[in-house]
């Protein structure tokens, strides 16, 4: 399967996007854990004009400009059934809001799976678009995020500011 890549410069650093022929399959940035577990970008064909990548780039630019609250670019994220369920919950968290890992586990249907949802979030290959940054610790702390906790804090502050009008 051929994959294609493009880079977007954003307020949180350079984002590397990877797409198949018809869906986005990875979003990562410098220092992202994806790079250490085998990013698809290394073997991808650079193509910023690829329709999926062009759409993802446009939607991300709109998101960072405060003009977009959800993403419509098609996404294909390989993962276990549990991971897919956890990522599905992420897509339901409203823009500008947060939930705890415990709440995410409850929404997945297994209230005791707090660590498991954290692990699933850590393997989310399309962060920001599938918004794992909206999940926080039970005490309100910002824990774990592929781009770093400082990026997570920036994304949450950005969304809250835009949502507040």
**C-alpha to C-alpha distance for 49 and 21, rounded to whole angstroms:** 12
Q: Could you give the 3-state DSSP secondary structure of residue 10?
A: strand
User: How much is the CA Rg of the chain, to the nearest whole Å?
Assistant: 15
The active-site residue out of 40, 99, 132, 156 is 132
C-alpha span between 19 and 64 (Å, rounded): 20
Contact 97, 134 (CB under 8 A): yes
Q: Active site includes 132?
A: yes
Catalytic residues: 132
């Amino acid at each position: 399967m051929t994959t294609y890549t493009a880079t977007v410069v954003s307020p949180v650093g350079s984002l590397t996007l990877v797409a198949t022929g018809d869906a986005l399959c990875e979003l990562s940035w410098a220092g992202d854990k994806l790079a250490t577990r085998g990013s698809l970008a290394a073997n991808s064909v650079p193509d910023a004009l690829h329709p999926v990548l062009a759409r993802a780039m446009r939607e991300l630019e709109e998101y960072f400009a405060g003009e977009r609250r959800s993403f419509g670019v098609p996404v294909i994220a390989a993962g276990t059934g549990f991971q897919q369920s956890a990522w599905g919950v992420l897509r339901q968290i409203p823009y500008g809001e947060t939930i705890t890992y415990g709440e995410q586990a409850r929404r997945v249907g297994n209230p005791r799976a707090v660590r498991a949802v954290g692990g699933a979030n850590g393997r989310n290959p399309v962060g920001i678009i599938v918004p794992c940054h909206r999940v926080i610790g039970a005490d309100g702390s910002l824990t774990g995020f592929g781009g770093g906790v400082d990026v997570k804090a920036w994304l949450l502050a950005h969304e809250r500011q835009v949502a507040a009008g």
